[in-house]
Amino acid sequence: MADMSPRVQRVADQIQRELASLIQMEVSDPRVGMVSVTGVKVSRDLAHANVHVTVLNTLSDDESVNQSTLSEPGELDKLEIEENLKALNKASGFLRTLLAKRLSLRSVPKLKFHYDGSIERGQQLSSLIDSALAADRNLQS
C-alpha cells in the first residue's frame, strides 16, 4: 500500500491522541488496564482505523498477588492481553461516538484494536544484546 496522504496522517495522529485520553478517562470496563495507544493506521477513505495498543502491567494492592501473577516486570499473560483487546473492541462503538464529538470529520472511522508487541520485542532484543556484551566482556577478561 502506498504511503498515507498528509491529511490521512493528520487524522490518524489526532485519533491517536484523542483515543489515548478517552480510553484513560471514559472507558469504565474493569478488563481494560493500563493501555497505551502506540499507533493508528487509517484507510484512505477514512472508513476504518486499525488502532495498535500496548498493554502495560497492572499491579494490584496485594503484593502477594503481584508476585504470583507477574514473573518479571514487563511480562504479560496472554489472557490479560486478550481480555483487554476484547473489552476495547467491545467499547469501540462508544469510543467512536466520543471521537465524533471531539473531531470535526464528516464520518469517524470504525475502530479495530490490535495488540502491538513491539515494546516487548524491543525489551527482549535489548536483553539479548546486554547478555552478548556481558559474555564478550567475560571472554576478554
Residue 124 has pLDDT above 60, yes or no: yes
Percentage of the chain with pLDDT > 90?
46
Query: pLDDT value at position 73?
Result: 44
Mean pLDDT, rounded, of the chain: 84
Sequence spans of domains, the chain: 6-116
- pLDDT band at residue 51 using 50, 70 and 90 as cut-offs: very high
Confidence at 57, pLDDT banded by 50, 70, 90:
low
**Residue 4 pLDDT > 80:** no
Whether 33 shows a pLDDT value over 70: the answer reads yes
C-alpha cell at 5: 496522504
Long-range pairs for 96-104: beta carbons < 8 A, 24 or more residues apart: 98/22, 98/26, 99/15, 99/18, 99/19, 99/22, 102/18, 102/22, 103/11, 103/14, 103/15, 103/18
* Homologous superfamily in CATH for domain 6-116: K homology (KH) domain (3.30.300.20)
pLDDT at 12: 94
